[in-house]
Homo-oligomer: A and B are copies of this chain.
Amino acid sequence: MSDIKTGINPLFLREEELRQGIELLFFAYRDFTAEPDAILGEYGFGRAHHRVIYFVGRHPGITVSDLLDILRITKQSLSRVLGQLVTEKFITQRPGLRDRRQRLLELTEKGVELERLLTERQRARIARTYREAGAEAVEGFRKVMLGLVDEADRGRFPTRAAGPRRGG
């Protein structure tokens, strides 16, 4: 009631601010995934394939268990997409050295190409946005996004605090 003059209730402002946060996540994610989704369609793949290709590319030699931990889906769900990707030679499996029960996953040449094709759009979108928003905004973006991630997984994002910020 202290805002009668401006007509803006600070509680409403907070509510509005939080809702905008929710919606930013919805719209950004919607648009962020739309481009790769369209490309995936041409291959008869879906978003699940992209995720698998992405994280195998990101962590060459990753185990199935670790991939399941990231994706938070069941092994039966993963099995289908992974099976396709292996059959169609986008991903190879080889037994682990220390533990031969493991099937270490890696992208083939073909897999690397597809990964690049798919992720390229997303990288470009982020690069453009980062450039337009500026370093300070990017820092804030990272901070908030990291705070939204479950604590257990925040360790996946090492801070590069020590090194040179942007040499090029």
A residues with CB within 8 A of B: 2-3, 6, 8, 10-11, 13-32, 34, 51, 54, 58, 72, 119, 122-123, 125-130, 132-134, 136-150, 153, 156-157, 160, 163-164, 166-168
Contact = CB atoms under 8 A, between A and B. Distances in A.
Given A22-B54, A22-B119, A32-B25, A143 B137 contact: yes
B163 A148 contact: no
B54 A126 contact: no
Given A8-B164, A140-B133, A144-B130, A149 B27 contact: yes
A23 B13 CA distance: 30
Quickly give the copy total for this chain.
Answer: 2
A28 B149 contact: yes
Contacts of A139: 137, 140
A28 to B, nearest CB: 4
B123 A18 contact: yes
Contact of A18 (B23, B126, B153): B126
A7 to B, nearest CB: 9
B58 A19 contact: yes
B29 A29 contact: yes
A134 B144 CA distance: 9
A62 to B, nearest CB: 14
A43 to B, nearest CB: 19
Nearest to A21: B126
Contacts of A147: 128-129, 132-133
